[in-house]
Structure 1
């Protein structure tokens, strides 16, 4: 049985070019903090990746801090804003990744900050007027945390507009860009954003490696203490192999951004049209069907079901060789209801499927999915 992988929002296959870069990095065993030639060789690999990333993002290398991934980077940005920058209030969305929502909840419980979750409509949109109203009434330092690319429904937002509002009202702006970065260009020399986060395994890099961008001038302190690595921002000997893989993955994806966007957008439109042909009652979760307002990698659908009914759909697809998900894959494998879909449609139970494509998705994969979709859901 042929197996088709359509769960790239959970993780992506390691690119051969990235694997090769990591294999070569294994020979650089020296500690990058050492001053001898072995250490300097490892340091070169770390700084080469940092400079490459900074060049593509149009920021300074000193603004890029390597982490274990997006979750750590989100935690560092949010908690440091509260502890070090005096933030007393955080404005966010109920559809954020748990790496953000649970960190905000911890900050509320630990530090007593105020938390405001903006209302979202059935498409996952929030009101800029509501955001501006909260910002204009702010009497305390505020952080706005709104993700740029929802991992479950694919929604994207206007970063320039959000950032401009934050600047006008002297609020900090953090964006979880884990699903966005590596698929769309970002120019941090013009975007008014203070923190963004990255995880390499979302764009054909290794798991366990990512980074935090912290705008120069924003002085935050580490969460992990020890030897003072990453310019005293994250202690612990650097993950040389992972960082080399992250740099190689970044170089790979930035070489053909436009081509991949066009190619996968075409496949996505074919996918949605095929799904609707089989099930006209399908609901599009969020803005998956809007090319200008969603990730071209993610399609999320919902099919009405009886309240309290248990779905076997994912199991049926898996048995037929199709790997998809029902939402986020970051819940220890548990198939619990999605807090994102619940925020959009609290009173309408649906059987939800997330089909997410990537660099190695081809048209025959979409055809295979649609064939199985008709068998299972037709």
Structure 2
């Protein structure tokens, strides 16, 4: 709707605002065993003061020589008979000397920052290797990574091709789809994410595989529903199928991440989650849009998109294989504490 009224650029800018606000809110979170963050105003003032001090520290030669050059050129302007342009040349020479001096002073600082960045990068790479080793040693994580890539392939491929599908299969523009069906997809996704998280936590109190079941079952149950959504031609059936698809396809959001955190030591949890996100996107939704496009050119869009619920159902079944390993992996982590 925003794109129809204000253009795609304005629509994308508007969609970026919630992410910016979320980043600000995330910066205010208090980490365990650490003091609370400073207020936003204090943080911004600190940035400004540090930036001003550093700018003055490294910019003094340039500022001083520029002022000296301006004064000297003004003084030379009082004398007659000097070659034309000598004042400008003197001022330019002083400014150039100030720039060179400033660059010379900045080189050691740049080398020091580069060394620090290299050390940080080496540490980050080491943590990534440690996370990769943890994944390969933990059977549950292997199933979570493989299944997660397949379900990410299904979900994000469906999102990427939904506008084109609605336009080509049902003759509806993007704006009409957003107005008529957007709220149902949003409601289904929000309720599905909430239900999946609460249901997974409830099952975990009774069974170590509770979160695994919820993570995989949503895609196993949602596969036929999504296929029906793609095959139906009557729009009166489209809304309930759309709602059900989004509801079932978002069960996994909370429980799958929680399973990953349950089976790894706390020291590498963030690294393992990062590795999972990297793998699932590279092996999942990075492949889905071009592959569906290629198949669409050969067989048509509707048959091509039927690959998505099939991949989601297979991914759900792969996740459910972790039911055979999650109990042992969770016990090992608890025993290592």
TM-score bin (small chain):
under 0.3
By percentage of residues, which structure has more strand? 1
Tell which structure's C-alpha radius of gyration is larger: 2
TM-score normalised to structure 2 length: 0.25
